[in-house]
Amino acid sequence: MSTLTIVISILLILFGLFGFLKGFGKGTAKSLASEAGLAAGYFFGVPVARLLMNTGMGKSWLTGLYLGTIPSIDPFTKALETGSDSGSLQAANKALLSEGLSTLGIPKFFQGMFLSHVVSYEADVRLALASSFAYWTLIAFFFLLFYLVVTLVLGKILSKAEGLVFGEDGKNFLGRLGGLVKGVLKGSGLILVLLVLLSLVNQLLMNAGNTVLNRWLVDDLAIEDGSKLSLGKFFYQTAEGLIGWVSTLKS
């Protein structure tokens, strides 16, 4: 088990225990609904967006909309390398795409999110960037959609049932369980914030040529091994995804 996974597990247990002892508490239905909405946005909204990106809605319609906003000038008309999926070809394509993103005014610090989620490499830089923009647009839209629907619906249900289900002081059995869930959700939010900061520090260090932290993260979380799943790896990759989503809203 990785070091980061152990630390995260301990934090979640502590937050869950504190929530269980405190109980659900009156007036906390809306905050719990909002936290559940965030979870729904990630666990349901993001997969739906990825699925739709592979349909005509993403690859044709939305990509086509972005394609129309990118000028047909150099460097956007440069053809991408095709052939075997070798490291040299990937590096060549990333260099071309990075040049295009820089021309659009997107800082290098935020270019990684677009470079790592290109859907169409079949033609030129324009199409590749348009497919990446379409991907992140769908991610943002369905994340927000699931978040808003779950937050509003669950908020109304919990507000009406709060006293009846969780007890007047929020400390009956269900109230304690609700407090435990609330504590774990709050702990998850705090952990994500900390890992977002860790990811940003890692990117800054790598941009400065220091790869010590990145090597530790790659080894500790087995990031390059897609078959290995862990709590630490899940939270860290989620944090990186959040950075990319926020960056898209700002760009």
- For the chain, what are the domain ranges? 44-162
pLDDT of residue 13: 95
> Which tokens in the block code for residue 54?
């592979």
* Highest mean pLDDT: which range of 80-89, 111-120, 139-148: 139-148
Contact 143, 95 (CB under 8 A): no
Q: Which of 13-22, 107-116, 143-152 has the lowest mean pLDDT?
A: 107-116
d(CA 94, CA 91): 5
Residue 199 CB contacts under 8 Å (≥ 6 apart), including other chains:
236, 239, 240, 243
Q: How far is CA 148 from CA 45, 79, 141, 155, in A?
A: 11, 41, 11, 10
Q: What is the mean pLDDT of residues 205-224?
A: 87
Q: What is the pLDDT of residue 248?
A: 45
Average pLDDT, stretch 175-196? 88
